[in-house]
């Protein structure tokens, strides 16, 4: 109770003086300005731009809040008077610390209008936002402990400010890649664990990891213990036995908290608040791993000395393997070996197809090249599959589980693939086919091949649109769908020649196949004036980025198994889908444009500087799923010829995820969809009007700080008037008899 009394008094004093309002206004204005400058450039509805700069803003804001907490009382001599009351040093310290934390949390709460403003242009992932604010609150609590300690050491507020800022800067600095790269690998990983950035970035994903929570709480505890020792030491004689015992006790307490901080990296447990629980094993993964009929061994080959960014990524790999082992019960065995220091492990890795990867490391004032391992080998019986090097963990769950699934099932389903550029000896769908081959037996489909289109073929992929298709091939395809076959069609109704640059209408031969489902790809070219991509365009000053309405960032409807966990996709020179002849209730929209989209139906220039009519604009259907009521056969249609070509999926990997999901759904292999469909990309930010966009920005940069100024002025003026009121006794004096 006494702690809360001190905290309330301290917090009230911050708002009874202009200092508190000046700090709030400066924090809100600077934070909002930096955020919107980055967020509008990236066009994403995410708080990550704010979180990226928040440690640097706190570097000055937190010391400014905490510098007066104890230093002012020490300088004025009030601390002796305060401690003469029935109040202990610990209660005083905790009260001062709690007041600083509450003020910082109030400042963070005042930034909530930022995600509320972004909600005008996107469907915000509020669970992730909640996790990010919890992470920001933990960062504030950790830094407040440092500031309170600095304030306990000096009579000068300026000295306390500088000391706190220096310590915070060092904790930020040891987590920066430029510094970590220059350290030996044996020191870089511990330095990254000590620094705040690796822990704060992890929470910024929307995952509350117990290890990160322990880090920030122990950080605050370490410096509060040191501050407590400083307060107690003020009333003890220098060099006395009591002072030495105090120093020993505080040292042991701080050391134990440091050990807890470092060992916290081995504590498991996390709360995944990201959209779709993107960092948690999906139910489909648990089903696959929970029904294994034989032992599967997963070998992790990892060097003990890795570059910092790779070493930090290994933490995610370890988490995933731990979850996989738990989900597989006694049928999953995980072994970790270090080929860098073990010759037998090195030979084992090489025999399994895992080779060392070279890293550039800065050391001894020169650029050094070193080798390291971070690969996985999956073994089942005599069969083996390998992931030679883990470059990122976004799709590692899918790659690992699909490998286990493929090794443990009797045979792969057959997918017939007709890639039009491949027919012309220009295989521009190689990445799509390679990914399909991991789960399916992919067979080429052409006018002269012998691939039989019968019940053994799970689905047919028609990627690209030729000017014409041989009659025998179309007949085979029509017979296939008439018998209940499923097809994926990726084709546009315009022949595009970037060299001209010109797009001309053409017939889509696959419409003869889609006729069975009542849908068709129109002979038009869609453009979107609002939701589009920017491309580099030559100018007098070099190449500049310019919006290109023919490259549409189509919105995912999330209404189908194919796209329920996927975000938007990019369609290049796309055509719209005609569903007028489809049976009622059989078509599910997959990809749609914004409400500011139009179409060209005649030959038109595709120059980015061309004229795009702003009349007859409406939402256009660019991709659809068709499920006949009879339940036989399925179709997925996307009106873009280049949707899954190697050229475009490099810049739009979400396109590859969607077509792979579509293939799985057509082959009725929906377990793989649930694993692959985890979309960790932030939500695109698309405001309906420019006025909404500017309102969201300036309401936070200008409006909110002005509101805080007005509230502060009103409170201070009211308090000033109250101090000028004449004294009035609470009990009227009795008149003399």
The pLDDT tens digits of the residues spanning 276-286 come to 677 778 887 88
Residue 281 near residue 383, CB atoms below 8 Å: no
Same domain, 188 and 331: no
Helix (H) or strand (E) holding 552: strand 542-556
- The whole-angstrom separation of Cα 700 and Cα 704 is 5
Say what the pLDDT of residue 426 is.
43
Provide the pairing of β-strand 621-626 with 569-572.
unpaired
Helix, strand, or coil (residue 122): coil
> Which of 234-248, 588-602, 612-626, 673-687 shows the lowest mean pLDDT across its residues?
234-248
Q: What does the pLDDT read at residue 520?
A: 95
Same domain, 285 and 272: no
Q: Considering the chain, what is the average pLDDT of its residues?
A: 82
Greatest mean pLDDT range, 304-308, 429-433, 563-567: 429-433
Are residues 355 and 466 located together in one domain of the fold?
no
The C-alpha atoms of residue 685 and residue 700 are separated, in whole angstroms, by 17
641 part of a folded domain: yes
CATH number where 342 lies: 3.40.30.10
Q: Which residue has the higher pLDDT, 679 or 162?
A: 162
674 falls within a domain: no
pLDDT tens, position by position, 346-399: 888 888 888 887 765 544 444 456 678 888 999 888 888 888 888 777 778 878
User: For residue 672, is pLDDT > 60?
Assistant: yes
- Sign (positive/negative) of CA torsion 591, 595, 596, 597? positive
Same domain, 447 and 548: yes
- Check residues 449 and 50 and name the one with the higher pLDDT: 50
Question: 264-273, 613-622, 678-687: lowest mean pLDDT where?
Answer: 264-273
Same domain, 66 and 168: yes
Q: Are strands 383-387 and 374-380 parallel, antiparallel or unpaired?
A: antiparallel
Shared-domain flag, residues 199 and 287: no
Look at residue 673 and tell me if it is in a domain: no
Distance CA 74, CA 89 (A): 13
pTM as predicted: 0.64
Of 244, 227, 175, 232, the closest CA to residue 69 belongs to 227
Question: How is residue 572 written in tokens?
Answer: 């290049």
Question: Is the pLDDT at 412 greater than 70, yes or no?
Answer: yes
Q: Which residues of 41-68 are buried (b: 16+ CB within 10 A; e: fewer)?
A: eebbbbbbbbbbebbebbbbbbbbbbbb
Are 382 and 327 within one domain? yes
CATH number at residue 484: 3.40.50
DSSP state of 734: P
Q: What is the pLDDT of residue 730?
A: 59
- How confident is the model over 281-306, as a mean pLDDT? 84
| pLDDT higher than 70, residue 542 | no
705-713: Cβ within 8 A, 24+ apart:
705/24, 705/25, 705/28, 705/29, 705/32, 708/21, 708/24, 708/25, 708/28, 708/110, 709/21, 709/25, 711/21, 712/15, 712/18, 712/20, 712/21, 712/24
157 and 285 both lie in a single domain: no
Between the alpha carbon of residue 77 and those of residues 71, 72, 84, 128, the distances in Å are: 10, 8, 12, 46
Residues 87 and 226 reside in one and the same domain: yes
Q: What is the pLDDT of residue 313?
A: 76
Number of domains forming the structure of the chain: 3
Indicate whether 254 belongs to any domain.
yes
Please say which residue of 217, 244, 276 terminates a domain.
276
Tokens 């807890």 correspond to 260
Helix/strand/coil percent split, the chain, to 5: 50, 20, 30
Predicted pLDDT of residue 425: 37
- Residue, of 270 and 325, whose pLDDT is higher: 325
The DSSP-derived string for 228-245 is: HHHHHHTTS-TT-HHHHH
Q: Which residue has the higher pLDDT, 624 or 120?
A: 624
Please compute Rg for the chain using Cα positions: 32
For the stretch 68-117, pLDDT in tens is: 888 877 776 666 666 656 677 788 888 889 999 999 999 999 999 999 98
Asked if residues 564 and 677 have their Cβ atoms less than 8 Å apart, the reply is: yes
Highest mean pLDDT among 79-83, 580-584, 635-639: 635-639
Determine the pLDDT at residue 526: 95
Residues 431 and 343 in one domain: no
Both tokens assigned to 367? 């650029």
Cβ(472)–Cβ(435) below 8 Å = no
Higher pLDDT, 153 or 137: 137
DSSP H or E run through 96: helix 89-109
pLDDT surpassing 60 at residue 722: yes
Euclidean distance between the first and final Cα of the chain, in Å? 46
Strand-pair partners of 546:
535
| pLDDT on residue 28 | 93
Q: Is residue 721 part of a domain?
A: no
Average pLDDT of span 406-417: 84
Q: Are 554 and 623 in contact (CB under 8 A)?
A: yes
CB 527 within 8 A of CB 550: yes
Assess whether pLDDT exceeds 50 at residue 424.
no
Q: Does a structural domain hold residue 628?
A: yes
Task: Evaluate whether residue 716 is within a structural domain.
Answer: no
pLDDT of 575 > 90? The answer is yes
Handedness of CA 478, 479, 484, 488 (dihedral sign): negative
Listed residues 328, 363, 396: the one ending a domain: 396
User: 41 and 122, same structural domain?
Assistant: yes
What are 51's two structure tokens?
Answer: 């979180």
State yes or no: pLDDT of 650 exceeds 50. Answer: yes
Q: Which range among 27-36, 386-395, 657-666 shows the weakest confidence by mean pLDDT? A: 386-395
d(CA 137, CA 134): 5
Q: Which of 731, 672, 700 is nearest to 31 (CA)?
A: 700
Stretch among 36-50, 89-103, 425-439, 612-626 having the lowest mean pLDDT: 425-439
Same domain (yes/no): 156, 119 = yes
Does residue 179 carry a pLDDT above 70? no
Last residue of a domain, one of 227, 248, 276: 276
In a domain, 22, yes or no: yes
**Domain extent for 69:** 2-276
Q: Is 527 helix (H, G, I), strand (E, B) or coil?
A: strand
Residue 690 pLDDT class (50, 70, 90 cuts) = confident
């Amino acid at each position: 109770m006494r702690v809360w009394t001190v905290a309330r008094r301290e917090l009230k004093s911050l708002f009874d003086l202009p200092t508190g309002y000046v700090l709030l206004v400066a924090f809100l204005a600077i934070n909002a300005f930096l955020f919107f400058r980055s967020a509008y450039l990236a066009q994403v509805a995410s708080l990550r731009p704010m979180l990226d700069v928040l440690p640097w803003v706190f570097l000055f804001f937190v010391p400014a809040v905490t510098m007066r907490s104890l230093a002012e009382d020490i300088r004025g001599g009030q601390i002796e008077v305060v401690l003469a009351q029935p109040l202990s040093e610990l209660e005083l310290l905790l009260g001062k610390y709690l007041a600083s934390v509450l003020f910082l949390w109030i400042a963070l709460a005042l930034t909530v209008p930022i995600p509320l403003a972004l909600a005008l242009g996107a469907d915000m992932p509020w669970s992730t936002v909640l996790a990010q604010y919890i992470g920001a609150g933990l960062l504030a609590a950790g830094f407040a402990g440092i500031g309170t300690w600095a304030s306990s050491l000096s009579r000068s507020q300026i000295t306390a400010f500088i000391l706190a800022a220096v310590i915070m800067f060092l904790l930020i600095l040891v987590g920066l890649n430029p510094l970590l790269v220059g350290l030996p690998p044996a020191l870089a990983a511990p330095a990254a664990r000590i620094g705040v950035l690796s822990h704060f970035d992890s929470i910024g994903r929307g995952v509350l990891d117990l290890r990160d929570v322990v880090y920030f709480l122990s950080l605050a505890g370490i410096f509060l213990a040191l501050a407590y020792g400083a307060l107690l030491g003020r009333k003890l004689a220098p060099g006395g036995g009591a002072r030495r015992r105090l120093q020993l006790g505080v040292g042991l307490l701080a050391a134990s908290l440091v050990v807890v901080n470092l060992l916290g990296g081995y504590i498991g447990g996390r709360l995944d608040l990201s959209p779709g629980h993107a960092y948690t094993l999906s139910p489909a993964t648990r089903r696959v791993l929970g029904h294994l009929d034989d032992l599967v061994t997963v070998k992790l080959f990892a060097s003990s000395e890795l570059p910092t960014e790779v070493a930090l990524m290994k933490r995610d790999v370890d988490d995933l393997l731990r979850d996989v082992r738990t989900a597989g019960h006694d049928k999953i065995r995980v072994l970790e070996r270090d080929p860098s220091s073990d010759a037998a492990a090195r030979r084992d890795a090489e025999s399994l197809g895992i080779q060392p990867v070279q890293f550039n490391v800065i050391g001894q004032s020169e650029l050094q090249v070193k080798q390291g391992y971070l690969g996985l080998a999956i073994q089942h019986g005599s069969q083996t599959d390998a992931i030679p090097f883990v470059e990122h963990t976004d799709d590692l769950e899918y790659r690992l589980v699909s490998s286990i699934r493929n090794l443990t099932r009797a045979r792969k389903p057959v997918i017939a693939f007709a890639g039009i550029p491949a027919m012309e000896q220009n295989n521009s769908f190689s990445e799509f086919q390679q990914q399909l081959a991991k789960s399916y037996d992919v067979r080429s489909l052409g006018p002269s091949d012998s691939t039989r289109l019968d019940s053994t073929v799970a689905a047919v992929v028609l990627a690209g649109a030729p000017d014409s298709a041989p009659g025998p091939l179309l007949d085979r395809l029509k017979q296939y769908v008439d018998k209940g076959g499923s097809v994926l069609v990726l084709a546009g109704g315009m022949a595009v020649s970037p060299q001209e640059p010109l797009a001309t209408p053409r017939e889509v031969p696959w419409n003869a196949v889609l006729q069975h489902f009542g849908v068709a790809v129109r002979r038009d070219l869609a453009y979107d004036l609002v939701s589009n991509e920017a491309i580099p365009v030559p100018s007098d000053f070099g190449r500049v980025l310019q919006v290109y309405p023919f490259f549409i960032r189509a919105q995912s409807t999330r209404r189908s198994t194919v796209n329920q966990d996927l975000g938007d996709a990019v369609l290049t020179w796309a055509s719209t889908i005609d569903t007028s002849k489809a049976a009622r209730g059989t078509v599910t929209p997959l990809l749609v444009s914004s409400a500011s989209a139009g179409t060209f139906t005649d030959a038109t220039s595709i120059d980015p500087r061309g004229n795009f009519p702003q009349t007859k604009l409406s939402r256009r259907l660019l991709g659809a799923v068709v499920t006949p009521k009879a339940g036989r056969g399925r179709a997925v249609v996307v009106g873009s010829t280049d949707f899954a070509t190697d050229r475009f999926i490099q810049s739009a990997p979400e396109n590859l995820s969607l077509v792979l999901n579509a293939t799985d759904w057509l082959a009725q292999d929906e377990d793989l969809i649930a694993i692959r469909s985890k979309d960790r990309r932030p939500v695109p930010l698309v405001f309906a009007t420019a006025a909404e966009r500017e309102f969201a920005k300036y309401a936070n940069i200008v409006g909110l700080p002005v509101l805080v100024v007005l509230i502060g002025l009103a409170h201070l003026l009211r308090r000033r008037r109250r101090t000028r009121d004449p004294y009035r006794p609470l009990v009227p004096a009795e008149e003399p008899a």
